[in-house]
Chain A
Amino acid sequence: EVVLTQSPGTLSLSPGERATLSCRASQIVTSSFLAWYQQKPGQAPRLLIYGATRRAAGVPDRFSGSGSGADFTLTISRLEPEDFAVYYCQHYSSSPGFTFGPGTKVDIK
């Protein structure tokens, strides 16, 4: 079973700064099955990145995904006030199916 670990748990940054979020899998995984989501308080998660690097429709280009193998990164090039949220990575495998990482909270410094 693939276990996803996200780091850091919390990232304290100021608007305009660059955010780098890590998602590490317990084994090499298929990049096309790796996605990132943003969740704000009281809201459902929103798909940001799929296939490890592809931006979902309507997602600003300050969000980018990279990585392969077992190490993946979500980068926010310049934080906007609306970007402060929790970010989850997610992977699919035949068993146990879909799994999520524990999340990284990006909060205002």
Chain B
Amino acid sequence: QVQLQESGPGLVQPSQTLSLTCTVSGGSITSGSYYWSWIRQPAGKGLEWIGRIYASGSTSYNPSLKSRVTISMDRSQNQFSLSLTSVTAADMATYYCARVKGVVRGVISSDLAFDIWGHGTRVTVSS
């Protein structure tokens, strides 16, 4: 079955760039039937969608983070990555990668949902 695993530094200095990678196993990120997404959750708070990428490399971001976010993919490694620049304490959170179902040849179809999630990785912002 498909599994997702986040990896990356657990500590980032303020004003620096947060970089995380999600490795997908048991399935290909080049499948035309899914988007691949990042979501975060500050401790004790709710969920916030960050952005998503499709097999073609097309991306979409949360407008509230768009100026600081880049999501990319490495098809050879079956991975996709998150880059968040100029981090502050407000960016401290557990970061999840997730698969989005309900996509047909890159176009949103119906029954859209995050059906598979990674376990999450906690990121602290501190000097």
A100 to B110, CA, bound (A): 18
- Report which of B52, B96, B111, B118 forms a contact with A32, defined as CB distance below 8 A: B111
From B46, B48, B111, B117, A103 is in contact (CB under 8 Å) with B46
Taking a contact as CB atoms under 8 Å apart, the answer to whether A50 and B60 are in contact is no
B111 touches A92 (CB 8 A): no
Interchain CB contact under 8 A, A45 and B113: no
Q: Is B119 an interface residue (CB 8 A)?
A: yes
Count A-B pairs with CB separation below 8 Å.
68
Q: What 6 new A-B contacts, CB under 8 Å, besides A50-B101, A50-B111?
A: A35-B112, A45-B47, A47-B114, A90-B114, A97-B49, A97-B63
Residues of B within 8 A of A43 (CB): 119
B62 within 8 A of A: yes
Q: Which of B48, B52, B60, B113 has the most CB of A within 10 A?
A: B113
Question: 5 A-B pairs, CB-CB below 8 angstroms?
Answer: A32-B110, A43-B119, A54-B111, A90-B114, A100-B47
Residues of A in contact with B, size category: 20 to 34
Interface bits A38-63 vs B (CB < 8 Å: 1, else 0): 00000111110011001010000000
- Chain B 70-87 against A: per-residue CB contact (8 Å), 1 yes, 0 no? 000000000000000000
Task: Return B102 CB to nearest CB of chain A, in Å.
Answer: 7
Q: Which of B16-51 contact A (CB under 8 A)?
A: 37, 39, 46-49, 51
Which of B46, B61, B101, B112 is close to A88, meaning CB atoms less than 8 Å apart? B46
Q: Which residues of chain B have a CB within 8 Å of any CB of chain A?
A: 37, 39, 46-49, 51-52, 60-64, 96, 101-102, 108, 110-115, 117-120
**Would you call B62 and A50 a contact (CB within 8 A)?**
no
Q: Which residue in chain A gives the minimum CB-CB distance to B119?
A: A44
Complex-state Cα separation, A92 to B49, whole angstroms: 10
- How far, in angstroms, from A54 to B115 measured CA to CA in the complex? 12
Q: Which residues of A contact B46 (CB under 8 A)?
A: 88, 100-103
CA distance A40 to B14 in the complex (A): 30
User: 1/0 contact trace for A78-89 toward B, CB 8 Å?
Assistant: 000000000010
Chain A residues within 8 Å of B51, by CB? 97
- Bound-state CA distance A87–B64 (Å) is 24
Neighbouring B residues of A96 by C-beta, 8 Å: 62-64
Chain B residues in 8 Å Cβ range of A102:
46
